[in-house]
Amino acid sequence: MEELRSLPEQVDYFDEGAWYAMVDFVTVYGKEDLRFAFKNGMEIKV
């Protein structure tokens, strides 16, 4: 959480520390089906 709090309100660059602070894991079901699971329980299909 400290990593996220230290970021500006709008981030316009990739921040590796923020990525690891937010994403719990990624599951690959197929070439066109990736699921990003966030530490807050939200999941996004890409």
Q: What is the pLDDT of residues 27-37, one digit of tens each?
A: 999 999 999 99
List the beta bridge partners of residue 26: 36
Assessment of whether the complete model's pTM goes beyond 0.75: no
pLDDT in tens, 1-46: 677 677 788 778 888 988 998 899 999 999 999 999 999 999 999 9
Domain segments of the chain: what residues? 2-45
CA angle 28, 12, 31 (to 5 degrees): 15
Distance between CA atoms of 10 and 38, rounded to whole angstroms?
19
Dihedral sign computed on CA atoms, order 33, 38, 40, 41: positive
